[in-house]
Chains A and B, each alone.
Chain A
Amino acid sequence: MSGTHGTPRTAGPSAGDVTPEATAATGESGERQPALDAVTRRAREVIPEAGVITDHARLRTYECDGLAHYKVTPGLVVIPETTEQLAAVVRACAEHALPFVARGSGTGLSGGALPRADGVLVVTSRMRTIREVRRDDQRAVVEPGVINLDVTRAAAPHGYYYAPDPSSQQVCSIGGNLAENSGGAHCLKYGFTTNHVLGAELVTPDGDVVELGGLAPDSPGYDLLGTVVGSEGTLGVATAVTVRLVRSPEEVRTLLAGFASTDHAGAATSAIIAAGIVPAAIEMMDALAIEAAEEAVHCNYPAGAGAVLVIELDGAAVEVEHEFAEVERLCREHDAFEIRVATDPAERALIWKGRKSAFAAVGRISPDYIVQDGVIPRTALPEVLRAIAELSESSGVRVANVFHAGDGNLHPLVLFDDAVEGAGKAAESVSGAILDLCIGHGGSITGEHGVGIDKTSYMPRMFSDEDLDTMQLVRCAFDPQGIANPGKVFPTPRLCGEVPGRHRGAHPLQEAGLAEVF
């Protein structure tokens, strides 16, 4: 099952249902009522009244994240204002072995913040103080609910910015970014969240508060922080995050190049990389994605283009100027039939507008669509795009392609109309086949959206049982009871045995075949 986004037209009577395979991962309401009641009482003791939600209608406003196809009404919603409040609720969950799910702004695209019907949704939206901007140290310390773009806004007066820029950066939170190891268009040059987070105050699934990393790099001991970033809320909840601030570049230059086909655009991309140039971003859109963007935002991309590239360079002015000329030359050499160079911020914004609106724009040409997030080695791009085109042709399912061409992160948009009998199934089948293509080419099932609940069933195709079992060792160290966002990331949780402390071999219950997840 893959993530489906739709326009309001998809919101039919069945939209509130959770798919059968998801139910086991999200719990049933009423299942742990005594524990839920006890944690609710504790939450009311420590959190101001408005931050404890039990009313069913209000609980439902938290029933999904950015992957709206999956919906589960949480058993309880808490919105703490401090680390202490948040830790107290998690501790209560630990005492009663009650599942909890952390949520930032709820913009995730893999259902990572899908609530548990039998558990607590811990919302960090009221922890949104930027505690410090330390220019001399090139750091900021922020709370998890702080919006990504607000970090950059706070740093900008000092000549700095926060580099990871997921396309939802105007609304997504730093806590969510940390959980998902969010990327963005510019991670080709600057890396992902994990490369920009230096420290975190973490509430562990036991409810303890620990400091991981800090202002300085290379803290002694295991790099637990590096493990927590991208763990999708399964190892705890970050309540403060120390991030690296990056010097704002002296010069930024952006161009838009139109090509006859994705093959030509792909060849130009390869030539740029081979020339030793590392652009801040190289984004590609194919004809169908361009059509959608035109209809939605009238971005006026080159008419008749089979593909466009959006290429951005940044850095020292003298360097950018020369590399930009080289990029233009390479685009022409690979048959770009039109090149537009942004000469001011307004023109740059217009170039980016088409790209950034692409997902939403697809709603203009299709009632429903599935967005995938697979990654392939960049050189496999032409081959994989041809295979996707063949899949599309043989199945009659249209696929629009928008992607980060520089690092091979595809975002195929599989279009369908749920009102047509069997269309959803056909789209899912194409979508799954695309992920298999990525895995077959040595790639990944997700480059930046996360596994969440959406892609757990694909994990065994990418990793062996031993690989997954080894990852579960980390889970068992942090979360022996398996209460932190259970059902996400991993298809089958491991029984952790007697913890903490030393143990050997399989747990007796496991051996006897009596194992329960909780």
Chain B
Amino acid sequence: MTTATVDEAARRALGAACDRVSEPTADDHVDGVRPGLVAFPASTPEVAEVMRAAAAHGLAVVARGRGTKLSWGRAPTRVDLVVDLAAMDRILDHAAGDLIAEAQAGTPLSRLRSTLAGAGQRLAVDETVPGTTVGGALATGASGPTRLAHGTLRDLLIGVTVVRADGVVARAGGRVVKNVAGYDLGKLMIGSFGTLAVVTEAVFRLHPVPAERRFVTVPVADPVDAGRLTQEVVHSQVVPGALEVDLPATGPGTLTVLLGGIPEGVRGRTRATLDLLGDTATAAEEPPVGWAEYPWPTPSPTTAAGDDRATALKLGFALSGLVDVLRTARSAPAPVHVRGSSGTGVVYAAVPAGTDPAAVAETVGHLRGVCVRHGGSAVVLDAPAAVKAVVDSWGPVPALALMRRVKDQFDPDHRLAPGRFVGGI
């Protein structure tokens, strides 16, 4: 574990910028890189002060929510300062009549959910890792089953406040769902792993909580079965809220269709879905085991005790590639458990902890090959250090040169989460 040092002048500046600054503990490392200091700003202006101080002293900065996905991506090359946003956990506004809500970046998704539920509303994203915050979900572009019906955060974020690397506070978008004034900087921030700016506040469009939900699950014998039934469902008129495949490394798997809406509609569509999927399909009021969870254990156990992380992959592909992707997972050198949105062509895959890094690397290669052939990508979200050392986490990235130019504009000194993102950004 490397440790960054922060000199006395920088410490004084940060102490003046932020009420709460502390020495790092063993839990504050970022994928094995120990920071020099941790700051806990409580407001956007305070984050701006911290970032200005960091800029003045050339500090490398990693922003953190609850840290549940902090080891995703590559380990940063250097971390002088962790900016912890957990103190920024307020829901600033919930305009129920307008179906929008505004929250600070450190707000846990679970709190947002319980608050909005009071008005029969929700932010239509899944909490795929328990404890996830608004900012962490945005930074990693996390998604779950709900993406089939409502898209991802990029379809739900309507306004954003960020603090730039130079400490300037900027806003884009607004508080209305329909708005085409200016560049959509929110989309640029989503999935940028904290390498462009620190998101401090976000405004989302909301959806009504469906009055009723049914989960129709059918066993699938193999990849071909999963592919055939997926095509049946997506081209049908059952209007699925989610369509998930769950295929362990061996043996049969399942396909689950979520139907949500008014009771009369859900009843009718449940009948239609049961007819579509055949005699072995069953309907339930509760989600199946593992629903909206990644196929690897979370949170990743990366404590000092040892590196027991599974290799966590995100696979994207054109819908028709599903069978090939599942087959490749089944025939890979290492065991692969696939789970995710077969209805959108975004699934997650896990290779167990303790697998030989060379076998993992070969498996990643196979999966990446098949995903790219089907118009998509394979990203290693997380993995043990020994695996990260031998795999290309991000794979081929078209338009990388343009992305570097964007990075150079926003963070010319490359101080924000350096090395964590594509192409070493």
CB pair B238 A187 closer than 8 Å: no
Query: A221 touches which one: B169, B320, B400 (CB < 8 A)?
Result: B400
Inter-chain contacts of B395 with A (CB < 8 A): 220
* Cα distance A404–B159 in the bound complex, in angstroms: 20
CB interface residues, B 175-196, toward A, < 8 Å: 175-185, 187-188, 190-192, 196
CB pair B174 A443 closer than 8 Å: yes
CB pair B175 A443 closer than 8 Å: yes
CB distance from A320 to the nearest CB of B (A): 8
Inter-chain contacts of B406 with A (CB < 8 A): 222, 224, 473-474, 477
Inter-chain contacts of A470 with B (CB < 8 A): 162, 164, 168, 170, 172, 185
CB pair B178 A408 closer than 8 Å: yes
CB pair B171 A467 closer than 8 Å: yes
CB interface residues, B 368-399, toward A, < 8 Å: 371, 374-377, 379, 394-395, 397-399
Also in contact, A467 and B182, with CB within 8 A (given A318-B265, A318-B268):
yes
CB pair A499 B176 closer than 8 Å: no
Also in contact, A181 and B180, with CB within 8 A (given A222-B196, A319-B269, A502-B413):
yes
Which of A134, A218, A317, A477 neighbours the largest number of chain B CB atoms within 10 Å of its CB? A218
* Cα distance A411–B289 in the bound complex, in angstroms: 49
Inter-chain contacts of B100 with A (CB < 8 A): 377
CB pair B399 A230 closer than 8 Å: no
* Cα distance A380–B188 in the bound complex, in angstroms: 30
Contact of B11 with A by CB under 8 A: no
Also in contact, A319 and B422, with CB within 8 A (given A444-B176, A459-B182, A500-B405):
no
The residue on B at minimum CB distance from A235 is B183
CB interface residues, B 134-188, toward A, < 8 Å: 141, 143, 147, 151-152, 154-155, 162, 164, 168-172, 174-185, 187-188
CB interface residues, A 444-499, toward B, < 8 Å: 444-451, 455, 459, 462-464, 466-471, 473-478, 489-490, 499
* Cα distance A220–B140 in the bound complex, in angstroms: 11
Inter-chain contacts of A474 with B (CB < 8 A): 183, 185, 188, 406, 409
CB pair B412 A504 closer than 8 Å: yes
CB pair B183 A221 closer than 8 Å: no
Contact of B346 with A by CB under 8 A: yes
Inter-chain contacts of A32 with B (CB < 8 A): none
Contact of A360 with B by CB under 8 A: no
Also in contact, A467 and B170, with CB within 8 A (given A274-B97, A323-B265, A477-B408):
yes
Number of A-B contacts (CB under 8 A): 286
* Cα distance A211–B175 in the bound complex, in angstroms: 31
CB pair A276 B211 closer than 8 Å: yes
Contact of B261 with A by CB under 8 A: yes
Also in contact, A445 and B412, with CB within 8 A (given A134-B320, A466-B169, A469-B168):
no
* Cα distance A192–B168 in the bound complex, in angstroms: 30
Inter-chain contacts of A273 with B (CB < 8 A): 97, 99
Contact of B319 with A by CB under 8 A: yes
CB pair A378 B412 closer than 8 Å: no
CB interface residues, B 259-300, toward A, < 8 Å: 261-262, 264-265, 267-269, 272
Contact of A139 with B by CB under 8 A: yes
CB pair A210 B188 closer than 8 Å: no
Contact of A47 with B by CB under 8 A: no
Inter-chain contacts of A431 with B (CB < 8 A): none
Contact of B366 with A by CB under 8 A: no
CB pair A221 B405 closer than 8 Å: no
Contact of A409 with B by CB under 8 A: yes
Q: A216-B375, A226-B187 known; 17 other A-B pairs, CB under 8 Å?
A: A211-B399, A215-B318, A215-B375, A218-B316, A221-B394, A222-B403, A223-B191, A274-B96, A276-B120, A319-B265, A322-B262, A379-B98, A451-B180, A459-B181, A463-B181, A470-B164, A504-B412
Q: Which residues of A contact B (CB under 8 A)?
A: 134-139, 159, 180-181, 183, 187, 191-192, 194-195, 204, 210-212, 214-224, 226-227, 229-231, 247, 249-250, 270, 273-274, 276-278, 315-319, 321-323, 375-379, 404, 407-409, 442-451, 455, 459, 462-464, 466-471, 473-478, 489-490, 499-504
* 16 chain-A/chain-B pairs, Cβ below 8 angstroms: A211-B399, A216-B377, A217-B345, A218-B141, A222-B406, A223-B154, A224-B402, A276-B209, A317-B237, A317-B268, A319-B262, A443-B179, A447-B180, A466-B168, A466-B170, A470-B168
